[in-house]
Amino acid sequence: MSQRKITINEVAAAAGVSVSTVSLVLSGKGRISEATCVRVNQAIESLGYVRNRSAAMLRGGGSGVVGLIVRDVCQPFYAEMTAGLTEELATQGKVLFLTQSGARGEHLQRCFDSLLAQGVEGIVLGGGADNAGDLVMKARDAEIPLICASRASALEEVDAIRPDNAAAARLATEYLIKRGHRRIAWLGGSGTSLTRAERIGGYCTSLLQYGLPFRPDWIIECGSHQRDAAALTSELLHQHPAISAILCHNASVALGCYFGVLRSGRTVGPKAMDSYYNQQTALVGFGDVPGAELTDPPLTFIHSAARRVGRQAALHLVQRLDNPTLAPRNLIIPPVLIERESA
């Protein structure tokens, strides 16, 4: 019978160190003390761990493999961003190693350590940057670049490429205001989301700028399930019939909101009315998906240029591989209004 393969996690546990420390010892990179190296190597020998020769080649920098961490690649923004990242890396002769950290980023550390163990040349963090502060030091110890390509970022000392969430929300809110809407609600996103916080900041700024009321009870948290968004929309319009327009946190919420408006007995459209009981509700979403053009009327969106974010992340990473001493750069991608008939 073949012997069970010993994992890098077992080596780390036996040596009393982290998986990333074992990866650094195996690669011969990073600032690891001699005593720690001895302890790790002793654990490797005693357990019979087989060193991965393919990973060793990757650690030499010859294969051009780049790691990517996203929470869920099915999210439209990160699916589009991954496509842009892959396209640009291909032109640079590099390939992508994709990992998913989970809906709440609960597997972020494990993904990072796994990519280090595979010997990637650099890592792109796409989402979940709000709880990734210690990864900056890990990347520095491993002597690999860490690039943040996210909808929002609070990380410092790393290159960050992201859309301008506050400007996107201002653009959407002012668009509705200039079309006559005075009672504008917000639907979607989690209260812990930095992206949502930035967008709501832009939304509130525009309301105050035009002297319109800010109503906390018109700002509704909601996940990305269309069924939930539809139910919350119906409830919101029933409780507050004066609302004439709704901003939707992402494409899935916008599609759910569309059905919720219809369920409430209203129609979706741009017309703003001053009467208390408005029978038409305008919708604007963030993101855009192909299905947005299939509704009647087609949905208006603020596009965040996710594919461009991915391409720029790839370019920044390649530049940093060539010149590790470059100062950290922060690139903000401006929003684009895709005007259709729902607002």
Instruction: Give domain limits for the chain.
Output: 1-51, 165-303
- CB contact burial 181-208 (16+ within 10 A = b; e otherwise): bbbbbbbbbbeebbbbbbbbebbbbbbe
pLDDT at 8: 78
| End-to-end Cα separation, the chain, in angstroms | 67
Superfamily (CATH H level) for 165-303: Response regulator (3.40.50.2300)
Lowest mean pLDDT among 4-13, 98-107, 273-282: 273-282
| Residue 1 pLDDT greater than 70, yes or no | no
Q: 293-308 pLDDT, tens per residue?
A: 778 899 999 998 889 9
**Which two tokens mark 326?**
């470059």
Q: Is the dihedral of CA 63, 69, 73, 79 positive or negative?
A: negative
Does domain 1-51 match CATH 3.30.1700.10?
A: no
Q: What is the C-alpha to C-alpha distance for residues 206 and 238, in angstroms, rounded to an integer?
A: 25
**Which two tokens mark 296?**
């009647």
How many CA atoms, within 13 angstroms, populate the side-chain half-sphere of residue 267?
Answer: 11
- CB contact burial 126-153 (16+ within 10 A = b; e otherwise): bbbbbbbeebbebbebbebbbbbbbbbb
Confidence label for 100 from pLDDT (cuts 50, 70 and 90): very high
CA distances from 150 to 11, 71, 253, 329 (A): 33, 11, 19, 14
Confidence label for 182 from pLDDT (cuts 50, 70 and 90): very high
**Which two tokens mark 314?**
């790839």
Give percent above pLDDT 70 in the chain. Answer: 89
**Which two tokens mark 65?**
């493999």
Please name the residue ranges forming H helices in the chain.
Answer: 8-15, 19-27, 34-47, 53-59, 76-91, 108-117, 133-142, 165-178, 194-209, 226-239, 251-263, 306-322
DSSP conformation class of 19? H
Mapping DSSP to helix (H, G, I), strand (E, B) and coil, where does residue 148 land?
strand
| Residue 260 pLDDT greater than 80, yes or no | yes
Please provide the DSSP assignment of 93-144 as one string: T-EEEEEE--TTSTTHHHHHHHHHHTT-SEEEEES-GGG-HHHHHHHHHHT-
Sequence-distant (6+) residues with CB within 8 A of 103 are 71, 72
Q: What is the C-alpha to C-alpha distance for residues 194 and 220, in angstroms, rounded to an integer?
A: 16
Query: Would you call the peptide bond into 216 cis, given omega within 30 degrees of 0 as the criterion?
Result: no
Residue pair 307/81 in contact (Cβ under 8 Å)? The answer is: yes
CA distances from 319 to 125, 295, 313, 316 (A): 17, 42, 10, 5
Across residues 219-232, what is the average pLDDT? 94
Query: Cα 222–180–335 angle (5° rounding)?
Result: 55
- Between residues 151 and 66, the one the model is more confident about: 66
- Judged by phi (left if over 0) then psi (alpha if -120 to 50, else beta), residue 36 lies in alpha
DSSP conformation class of 72? -
Across residues 255-274, what is the average pLDDT? 88
| Residue 53 pLDDT greater than 50, yes or no | no
Residue pair 161/149 in contact (Cβ under 8 Å)? The answer is: yes
Look over the chain and give the mean of its residue pLDDT values, rounded to a whole number.
86
**Which two tokens mark 144?**
């690999």
